[in-house]
Amino acid sequence: MMKFNTINIHGLKVFYRESGNKALPTFLLLHGFPTSSALFRNLIPLLEKDFHVIAPDYVGFGQSASPSHVDFKYTFENLTNYVDDLLTALNIHKFFMYVFDYGAPIGFNLAVRHPEQILGIVSQNGNVYQEGLGKKWAGRKKYWAHPTKELREKYKAAFAPATIKGQYLGGEKPGAIGPDGYTLDIYYTGKPDYAENQSDLIFDYQNNVANYPKYQAYLRQYKPELVAAWGKNDPSFIYPGAEAFKRDDPNAEVHLLDGGHFVLESHWQEIGKLILDKWGNN
């Protein structure tokens, strides 16, 4: 049965979904932007018989605490710290992980820190290669190199309802995506200081790109079993980023699915089957 829990990590409330028998291997589900652990609402029931499933909301997302960026350092390194400390608090020391979008740098940060803890990886539009960066990232790189207040304001368009809805529907067939996911995400953008907090993460994303060689070195050295289940129509993280995994990891398999950035919304059954076929009945 699904449980909805909160835990105090360094004085901040961290929310997480939990399901499955704790005696089974843990599957850590790491969401992206602008969503939350609600992204995995359809996938968790498929996994809970074979795994102990944990899906946290990062600080600043979903039901977790959202302190002002004046009081909290919104960087991917710091978000990783909170996920890392959550796992320690829950006595989880080995796990499979599912990484999507922002979840990729957080998950690969964990893998670089604790390679012995990683049992396997699913990357669903979770990019760690230059080849996977779509056209929009050229503009972001200019912003990172020459940040201005005007550009910071410009990129707040990423939090607009129309943008969020477009991220869900883009690359998908008509009628394939329900409104639940993007409606909930749009609701969370109304939190106090949301735009400023998230703007800090947009600026910090440059450090994730700078860390790509570190993540790739991890793949080459440890060769984890990896399933890249990728929405091939995603304009943000394009599918060559999925194919690049095979260059560094001989244990990587790539599945290009006919969907967009949020392909889990339309292909959760297919992705669940890929996971269970690979690692089920442990």
Looking up residue 130, the CATH number of its domain turns out to be: 3.40.50.1820
Q: Is 10 a catalytic residue?
A: no
Residue keyed to tokens 């690359």? 171
What's the CA gap between 99 and 56, in Å, rounded? 12
Whether the Cβ atoms of residue 125 and residue 101 lie closer than 8 Å to each other? yes
Count the helices and strands in the chain (H runs, E runs): 12, 8
Give the whole-number percent of the chain exceeding pLDDT 70.
Answer: 100
Contact between 155 and 202 (Cβ < 8 Å) = yes
Instruction: Enumerate residues 6+ apart whose C-beta is below 8 A from 224.
Output: 111, 118, 119, 120, 121, 249, 251
Q: What is the model's pLDDT at position 282?
A: 59
Here the tokens at position 222 are 């440890």
- pLDDT range class, residue 139, cuts 50, 70, 90: very high
Residue 13 pLDDT > 90? yes
| pLDDT at residue 170 in the model | 97
Give the rounded percent of residues in the chain with a pLDDT score beyond 90. Answer: 99
Give me 104's structure tokens. Answer: 């990729």
Q: Is the pLDDT assigned to residue 65 strictly greater than 80? A: yes
Query: Which segments within the chain are labelled E, that is strand?
Result: 3-9, 12-19, 26-30, 52-56, 95-99, 118-123, 226-231, 252-257
For residue 98, what pLDDT band results from cuts at 50, 70 and 90? very high
Res. 135: pLDDT tops 70: yes
- Return the percent helix, strand and coil in the chain, to nearest 5: 45, 20, 35
The whole domain housing 102 covers: 3-279
Residues 31 and 37: beta-carbon distance below 8 Å: yes
Query: Is residue 36 within 8 Å of 184, Cβ to Cβ?
Result: yes
* Number of domains forming the structure of the chain: 1
Rounded distance between C-alpha atoms, residue 86 and residue 252, angstroms: 28
Beta strands 226-231 and 52-56 are unpaired
Do residues 238 and 134 lie in contact, with contact meaning Cβ atoms separated by under 8 Å? Answer: yes
* pLDDT greater than 90 at residue 228: yes
- Cβ–Cβ contacts within 10 Å for residue 282, how many? 9
Summarised one tens digit per residue, pLDDT across range 261-274 is 999 999 999 999 99
Instruction: Check residue 281 and give its pLDDT.
Output: 84
Q: pLDDT-based confidence at 1, cuts 50/70/90?
A: confident
Active-site hit among 31, 52, 261, 267: 261
pLDDT digits (tens, 9 = 90+) for 18-45: 999 999 999 999 999 999 999 999 999 9
Cβ within 8 Å of residue 247, ≥6 positions away: none
Neighbours of 243 (CB within 10 A): 17
Q: What are 208-225's pLDDT values in tens digits?
A: 999 999 999 999 999 999
Instruction: Please check whether residue 229 is in contact with residue 196, taking contact to mean a CB–CB distance below 8 angstroms.
Output: no
- Spatial separation of the C-alpha atoms in residues 173 and 231, rounded to whole Å: 12
Query: Residue 75: helix, strand or coil by DSSP?
Result: coil
